[in-house]
Chains A and B, each alone.
Chain A
């Protein structure tokens, strides 16, 4: 999205290709038309990411007017239409409500409506359900899934909940300390994880069914980004750490079709 705050952080190198265009080389003006138009973002916390002094209707309409030149009456119709699509029955009330008048689940639906109103090609959902209850989370996941299918849209789901991954994703990328650790189709990742971090992570989760046993633990703590250990960043916590892991960072190995692992074990 090119939203890294400018003086503190910068994109050192690399390219991001979207529909054949390198986003990092685009002028700011064109980038503005892509944000919200072709690529949309749903934020983690629906409480703080809506503007408290505008009604929900106005906030959705703002997104429409930025990207499409349509009269106000059309954008109002579109707003009602998209709110119906995200499962809100009483659209009149929601359009004229301020965010604080709605429940968490409703606010997250308004966020989703705002992101989808211009029919983006790619939706990035950054922990869209972390702030919600399990029952509401289930509804939002269903909603995202149906919308993704009906609008033929690509989606990047960012989450720490492996249950959600199993529920919604096709391909999974596991990251640790800023690096790709493992990349695989979802069923491959859960059936035969290869990176020690992924294996451990799956073992630490308490299960709802099956035998109760003592949880496996990944020792140590998550490193802060300012003090990432040298070599493989996971080596201090890894149970299969070798000498060379301490000194050099492993490259990515292709272990099978579409399965990538960053670990010397698979050299």
Chain B
């Protein structure tokens, strides 16, 4: 526990911006840009389960892809203190090809859709072996690890020579998880790992992820739009809206005392089994007045019930509302 203070956070993201240019006309002139991720900062400590939540299109997946080095960033820094770099954080840009490969061994990903993220022409054995071949494991160790990993995710070894189409959605997601964990990474990013699954299967996968996180003392970034799942898994979370983090804090802070109006709306919108939603019938209006949004003001202004003049003038910075519960709103 002591080295938690001495160690830098495993992942620290500072003022990250990812903009995609919009090109138009014959000469593909840049006409503006989509700000998929706009100036976000957060850090994830060792052994922590950090969740990013928000509606679709708010930039969760783009953030994850940028951390994985799959999408180039526009500005900002991502420092990764992983594997051999655990005392001296690195940046994707600082690394050569060999370094990037080494980093990827310690930073793995589980994808959302278990149907399209497994190659249909590879057997389970070759799917699980591929990362081990890439990272130069000996043949003997490869088969040992595959055996261990399969039993950890609850699949029998007789499945090794089957193809992905012979499995159900839940089993495929187990294979996807096994593939991510097989190189014993320090950090796993799980992008909506349960949202494509049946409810009865969802619980199995959530429990599996919890067990694996404990076994490997893993750091995990969990991306989801389902707040109930997030509450169950995460220690800390960040709520994203239109490319910005509007609120972040521990699981208790966010769920017991949400501050930002958007977080409140999210929590109130969820229908609970047997009870329905906690508040009904507030606002069939919205969407139409999204043209209201000011260029420099708060992005949530058009939908916000607590908006004031001030929100139009400048974007509220994240401020500390006590015990590192951060919120970006003038009025709470």
* Surface stretch bound by A, among B15-23, B62-70, B128-136, B281-289: B281-289
Is B304 on the interface with A (CB-CB < 8 A)? Answer: no
A-B contact count (CB 8 A): 128
What's the Cα separation between A86 and B212 when bound, in Å?
A: 46
What's the Cα separation between A208 and B274 when bound, in Å?
A: 13
What's the Cα separation between A237 and B296 when bound, in Å?
A: 56
Q: Are B281 and A142 in contact (CB under 8 A)?
A: yes
Q: Are B267 and A167 in contact (CB under 8 A)?
A: no
> Taking the nearest CB of chain B, how far is it from the CB of A197, in angstroms?
9
Chain B interface size, under 10 / 10 to 19 / 20 to 34 / 35 or more: 35 or more
When distances are taken between beta carbons in the complex, the residues of chain A under 8 Å from B200 are: 200-201, 204, 217-218, 222
Q: Are A162 and B273 in contact (CB under 8 A)?
A: yes
> Taking the nearest CB of chain B, how far is it from the CB of A41, in angstroms?
22
> Taking the nearest CB of chain B, how far is it from the CB of A232, in angstroms?
16
What's the Cα separation between A216 and B200 when bound, in Å?
A: 9
Is B253 on the interface with A (CB-CB < 8 A)? Answer: no
Q: Are A143 and B207 in contact (CB under 8 A)?
A: no
Chain A 213-230 interface residues, beta-carbon cutoff 8 Å to B? 214-218, 221-222, 224
What is the chain A residue whose CB lies nearest that of B231? A208
Q: Are A221 and B170 in contact (CB under 8 A)?
A: yes
What is the chain B residue whose CB lies nearest that of A190? B274
Is A160 on the interface with B (CB-CB < 8 A)? Answer: yes
Q: Are B232 and A88 in contact (CB under 8 A)?
A: no
Report the count of interface residues on A (CB-CB < 8 A): 50
Q: Are B284 and A142 in contact (CB under 8 A)?
A: yes
Q: Are A212 and B231 in contact (CB under 8 A)?
A: yes
Contact with A along B194-212 (1 / 0, CB 8 A): 0000111111101100100
Q: Which of B206, B276, B287 touches A167 (beta carbons < 8 Å)?
A: B276
When distances are taken between beta carbons in the complex, the residues of chain B under 8 Å from A160 are: 198-199
> Taking the nearest CB of chain A, how far is it from the CB of B175, in angstroms?
13
Q: Which of A133, A164, A221 touches B201 (beta carbons < 8 Å)?
A: A221
Q: Are B271 and A88 in contact (CB under 8 A)?
A: no
What's the Cα separation between A87 and B282 when bound, in Å?
A: 12
> Taking the nearest CB of chain A, how far is it from the CB of B114, in angstroms?
13
Q: Are B203 and A215 in contact (CB under 8 A)?
A: yes
Is A180 on the interface with B (CB-CB < 8 A)? Answer: no
Q: Are B170 and A167 in contact (CB under 8 A)?
A: no
Q: Are A190 and B273 in contact (CB under 8 A)?
A: yes
What is the chain A residue whose CB lies nearest that of B57? A133
Q: Are B199 and A134 in contact (CB under 8 A)?
A: no
Is B277 on the interface with A (CB-CB < 8 A)? Answer: yes
Q: Are A87 and B284 in contact (CB under 8 A)?
A: yes
Contact with A along B252-273 (1 / 0, CB 8 A): 0001000000000111111111
Contact with A along B208-241 (1 / 0, CB 8 A): 0010000000000000010111011000000000
Is A137 on the interface with B (CB-CB < 8 A)? Answer: yes
What's the Cα separation between A180 and B269 when bound, in Å?
A: 30
> Taking the nearest CB of chain A, how far is it from the CB of B292, in angstroms?
13
By a beta-carbon cutoff of 8 Å, the part of chain A in contact with chain B is 87-90, 103, 105-106, 133-139, 141-143, 145-146, 160-168, 186-187, 190-191, 200-202, 204-209, 212, 214-218, 221-222, 224
By a beta-carbon cutoff of 8 Å, the part of chain B in contact with chain A is 55-56, 168, 170-171, 198-204, 206-207, 210, 225, 227-229, 231-232, 255, 265-277, 280-281, 283-288
Closest 3 CB pairs of A and B: A190-B274, A163-B271, A167-B276
